[in-house]
Amino acid sequence: MQLTYYVAPWDADDAEQPPEEVQARDGLRWGYVAADLDRFTRMALSRQIGLLAFAPAERYEIVWSAVALALYEADRQPAPADLITAGWQAITVAIQTEARHHGRDLIRHKGTTRRSYVMYWDAAAPRHISSPENGIVERLAVDQIWPMLTAGQQEALAALAVHGSVAAAAQALGKSTAAVHVIARAGRLRFKQWWHEGETPSLPWGRDRRRSEPATHCPAGHERTSETSYIKHTMWRGKPKRQIVCRICREERRAGGRS
């Protein structure tokens, strides 16, 4: 491959390699000179787009080192485009690594802080430092916001905190699971609004993955065991679905169809 900014007579695949005296010129391999490394480095930097995580001098050193390494690791005459690409890839990887170490998200939500970074430094790190600020702020906030909730919301949230699940809290309060879920959700939203008083509340970052105990009987009342039921894997709207099928109900439907 021939490029307009660099002409190498041995660039073709079947061309002879340069003589030894050419390879040793300026102490570089394959006939390249120090000015070539500088030019390739600057061309690789000109291709860089997006976040600039390093100072200009540091970016230059990263790319120059990658270009020189690619030159001396090559077992045959490398093309200028190969050296430029090596430098560009090196600065790209370095920027991605630096951004990840500092919590910058460059994949899903570009320019924002990664959720895992916030979770670690805002939740885990305070456990290992001496400042009690977060704990004090949270306790004061609970004491100030709790009276703002309705009596039903306080009751639902307190029961949920004690019993650990919506089903257990509903049983303790003598209410339906759906009712406790709705009341507790309204209480959380109201608490968040007061916590972010004067600001727009942030959206939930995760989801409640707590699961109730699996049903021991099918809707018809038949006990679910390994002999009376089995798991059927199907697809629903392009997504896998797991369904528990009762063998007794299936046989009853078949018998009803034959009759």
Residues 28, 93 share a domain: yes
Residue 201 is assigned to a structural domain of this protein: no
Residues 137, 152 share a domain: yes
Residue range 181-217, pLDDT digits in tens: 999 999 988 888 888 877 776 666 555 555 566 778 8
Predicted confidence band of residue 9 (pLDDT cuts 50, 70, 90):
very low
Residues 136, 125 share a domain: no
CATH of the domain at 173: 1.10.10
Residue range 42-84, pLDDT digits in tens: 888 887 766 666 788 888 888 899 888 888 888 888 888 888 8
| Mean pLDDT (the chain, rounded) | 77
Out of 88-92, 121-125, 154-158, 215-219, pick the least confident: 121-125
Q: Is the pLDDT of residue 135 over 60?
A: yes
Residue at which a domain ends, from 100, 129, 158: 129
* pTM for the structure as a whole: 0.37
Question: Using H for helix, E for strand and C for coil, what is the string for the chain?
Answer: CCECCECCCCCCCCCCCCCHHHHCHHHCCCCCCHHHHHHHHHHHHHCCCCCCCCCHHHHHHHHHHHHHHHHHHCCCCCCHHHHHHHHHHHHHHHHHHHHHHCCEECCCCCCEECHHHHHHHHHHHHHHCCCCHHHHHHHHHHHHHHHHCCHHHHHHHHHHHHHCCHHHHHHHHCCCHHHHHHHHHHHHHHHHHHHCCCCCCCCCCCCCCCCCCCCCECCCCCECCCCCEEEEEEEECCEEEEEEEEHHHHHHHHHHHHC
Residues 22, 118 share a domain: yes
- Structural domain of 57: 1-129
Residues 165, 103 share a domain: no
Residue 202 is assigned to a structural domain of this protein: no
Higher model confidence: residue 232 or residue 127?
232
Quote the number of domains for the chain.
3
pLDDT of the residue at 12 = 46
Residue 235 is assigned to a structural domain of this protein: yes
Residue 166 is assigned to a structural domain of this protein: yes
Residue range 222-245, pLDDT digits in tens: 888 888 888 888 877 777 788 888
Higher model confidence: residue 155 or residue 201?
155
Q: Is the pLDDT of residue 2 over 80?
A: no
pLDDT of the residue at 30 = 75
Residues 91, 189 share a domain: no
pLDDT of the residue at 155 = 92
